[in-house]
Every structure is written in C-alpha cells, then in structure tokens.
Amino acid sequence: MSDVDELIERLARSTGRSREELLEKVRELQERWGISKEGAVLALASELGVDLMEAETGEGELVSLERAISDGLKSFDAEFVVVRAPEVVETRSGGRMATAVIADETRSAALVAFDEEVEKLRELSEGDVVRGENLRTTAFRSSPQIVIDEETSLRVVDEHEDPDELIERTTSELKHGEYVRVRGVVVSEPTDTGERVHFWLSDEEGSVRVNAWGDAAESALELEYGQGAVVEGWVSTRGGNPVINVLRTHGRVEPAEVPIRPAIKRRIRDLEEGDVAEISGVVVAVYARRRYYEACPRCGRAVRDGECPEHGPTEPERRPVLNLVVDDGTGTARVAFFGDLAVDIAGCDSRREFFDAEEEELEERLLGESISVVVRVRGEGIVEDYDAVALRGQLLDDEDLKREVSMLLRELEGEAREEGSEAGRD
C-alpha cells in the first residue's frame, strides 16, 4: 500500500466515509488547485477536521491489551493501569530487567523493560493510569509480554482508585498469561516438593492448582485445609487446566477471610472429569500389592527410561502409592494416594514401615472403613465408575460418621421436601 493509500484508509476510518467518496473529493481538489495527490488528501483531511500527521506520529488509535496480545501487535498505543509496581532483577547475562503488572478492562499482562529502558518503567507506581506509545508484544516461554524499547514513551495521565479490582477473577475466568487475584478455600494440604509448594484452591465456580516459590512457598506451607486464602500470580494453561504460579517477584499467598463456601462435597455419581471434590464412603477394595513407583526426587513425577518429563535424566527414588476403591452408595471411585498421603492413610509411621507391611495387614486395616477424601477426578474408570487422585484423605471415626450421617440426612430431607413441593404444584 502506498503512503497516499494509507492516508486515505486512515481518513476513511476516522470519518466513516467510503474510500470511493474520498478519492472523488481528492481528484476534485487536485484539479481545482493543481496540487499533488498527497497534498490533496491532507487538504481534504483538514477540511474534514482530521489531523492525519498526528495520527502518524502515534497519537492515534488506542488498542486494548487483549487485542494487542491476541493480534501480537508489534507497535501499538494503549492506556492501562499499573496494578503492581515494577520490580527490578538482575538477568543471568548481568543486565537488568524490570517487570510491572498492568491491566485494563480487557485483561492483565506483564510490562517488561531491559537495561537502559528499566529507568522508564521505574518511574511508575501502583495505581498510575498510563498512556503508552510504541509498545510491542512478545512472548517469553509462550507467555505474552508487553515490552518497552527505546521507541516507547510512557506518560502518567490519571490515577486509578482501586487497581486490585482489575485483576480479581474466579477460578472459571483464568486466562493464559494473565496476572490474577483469586479468593478461595484451601482444599488440599499444601505439599512441599523441595522446589516449590503446591495446593488446590476452590471457590464457588471450581478449583485451581497453585504452585508457589520463594517467600510465597513459605506462606503457602502455613495454610491449612479448609482455610480461606487470597492467591495472586501468573496463570498458565499448559496441558488444558489452568495453574496459578506464584513467582518470586510479585505474587502472594495469604490467609484471608473468605465469605464463600465452595460446594466441593459431592456424591460419586455426580462427579465429572477434572472436578476437585470431597467424597465420603466406605473402602470396598484395597490394591496394596505394588506399593511404589519410580519417581523423580525433585517433582514426584514418574521416571521412565531414566528420564523425568520435566527434569530430564534423573536417578529415581521409590515413592509410595496406594490405590483404594471408595463406594458411597451412588457409585465407585478408584482413588490413588501418593507419597506421605499413602503412608498416612495406611496407618504407617514411615515409608519404610509402609513398604514392609504385609498386604493382608493393610487390607485388614482399611477394608470396610469409612473414609473422606478430597479427590481430583482424572476420568472414568476401567472397572470402577471413576479414576481419581487423592489430594487429602482421612479415615472417619464414629464421631465423624455421626456428623456425616446427620448431614446426609438433612440433605435427603431437603430433597424430599423439594420433591414434595414439586409434586404439590402438579
């Protein structure tokens, strides 16, 4: 496209007139004044009240962060709010890198600067509404980023009262590459892999796995099952399910009063693949013959042919596993307990004791016991209705059982009332 054509395009966009109509007028002006085509376009623009030169120097159209990222724009202008102030770190090559969290009404994103450009970013603080010109979209490890380079200018134009509201999300609203703030209830005991701490967080919409590093990992370890928490971090959706990664810069994991009660108690027949749910029932089968698998000592994933899918060549260790089948009267679920969860549920004090126990002894201990388990449903089972992984589990004593039974009774009474009132309407 020639420069003149581009000017006509831009004029058509900003006035809503057709190209044909504008070209006709340009020809008229050329003939009347004997000027060049470009001169005629500029004259027409000023007649119509459009400043094409200003548009060309970048004072043009503002695009949303969502559009800039989804279209991978290489140069764009945008107005956004600084949600988290920039943090500066040294890069491996000895340079400097600053990252701020920014957001508009459409999404949040990382705004990064390197070396000399770091100073531009450092002047920004939380709550600043910024007009950014000549910004660029890139990707780092498949996560979108917005980059500041020597062409970029940043100008604070206003103040935002509550930047937090721009990053508040529920578990069903998580988008890859966004920085989010999610409130929920901790539904699994936080687990320390030595490298990071992970746990599951549920709200009324669903559940999400949280990985935390550094200081955030320390705070995550202090959380307890059933406690309310606020989690802030970067969303990754690799593998289909969203994960919130709480990194060393930005990000937080804090206990919090949470008014919501996630509805995770579920009957087995109501489970669906991907659910995180709490089921209660009776142990009807114990598969205790093979009680370990070859695991990567760093992340716990299965090592095949001496390779961890995440960490490469690895000297594996034996990691406990125990499969139980739970029946709650509505269906059956095969539940796999891994690591210390397996050792605990088997009633053993150490891994050694767990590995050495007689198969019959474990069966005797567990068969017919009442159990409550928080599970993540992997899918339908081959023999059982569902195949699931335990995130937490406990055998129920008589007192727990009474509570469970009275809750179930209340629920059944409720259902009976509903059915009764439905029948009454007929």
- Vertex 54 angle, CA 53 and 55, to 5°: 90
Q: Of the candidates 220, 308, 342, 345, which one interacts with Zn ion according to CB under 5 A?
A: 308
CB of 319 to Zn ion, least distance (A): 11
Burial zone of 158 (CB within 10 Å; 0-12 exposed, 13-18 middle, 19+ buried): exposed
Closest to Zn ion by CB, 82 or 296: 296
**Interacting residues of 309 by C-beta distance below 8 A, sequence separation 6+:** 301
Closest to Zn ion by CB, 55 or 299: 299
Asked whether the beta carbons of 136 and 149 are under 8 A apart, the reply is: yes
Strand 207-212 versus strand 243-246 pairing type? parallel
User: Running DSSP on this structure, what letter comes out for residue 38?
Assistant: H
Closest to Zn ion by CB, 176 or 298: 298
Which of 248, 205, 212, 218 is CA-nearest to residue 231?
212
Cα distance between residue 277 and residue 328, in whole Å: 13
Stretch in the footprint of Zn ion (CB under 5 A) among 28-36, 153-161, 277-285, 298-306? 298-306
307 binds Zn ion (CB under 5 A): no
Tokens found for residue 90: 């040294």
Closest to Zn ion by CB, 48 or 299: 299
Q: Of the candidates 131, 311, 336, 363, which one interacts with Zn ion according to CB under 5 A?
A: 311
CB of 248 to Zn ion, least distance (A): 20
If you compute the radius of gyration of the chain from its CA atoms, what whole number of angstroms results?
Answer: 30
Stretch in the footprint of Zn ion (CB under 5 A) among 74-82, 259-267, 292-300, 417-425? 292-300
Tokens found for residue 226: 């059933």
Closest to Zn ion by CB, 67 or 298: 298
Asked whether the beta carbons of 19 and 27 are under 8 A apart, the reply is: no
Q: Of the candidates 52, 78, 130, 296, which one interacts with Zn ion according to CB under 5 A?
A: 296
Mask for 64-83, x = binds Zn ion (CB under 5 A): --------------------
Closest to Zn ion by CB, 85 or 299: 299
Q: Of the candidates 222, 310, 359, 397, which one interacts with Zn ion according to CB under 5 A?
A: 310
299 binds Zn ion (CB under 5 A): yes
- Binders of Zn ion: how many residues, by CB under 5 A? 6
Stretch in the footprint of Zn ion (CB under 5 A) among 9-17, 182-190, 305-313, 326-334? 305-313
Tokens found for residue 24: 């006709």
Which of 179, 59, 69 is CA-nearest to residue 131?
59
Cα distance between residue 292 and residue 338, in whole Å: 9
Stretch in the footprint of Zn ion (CB under 5 A) among 121-129, 306-314, 376-384, 412-420? 306-314
- Vertex 344 angle, CA 338 and 348, to 5°: 115
CB of 195 to Zn ion, least distance (A): 9
Asked whether the beta carbons of 152 and 116 are under 8 A apart, the reply is: no
252 binds Zn ion (CB under 5 A): no
Q: Of the candidates 175, 176, 298, 378, which one interacts with Zn ion according to CB under 5 A?
A: 298
Site for Zn ion, rule CB under 5 A: 296, 298-299, 308, 310-311
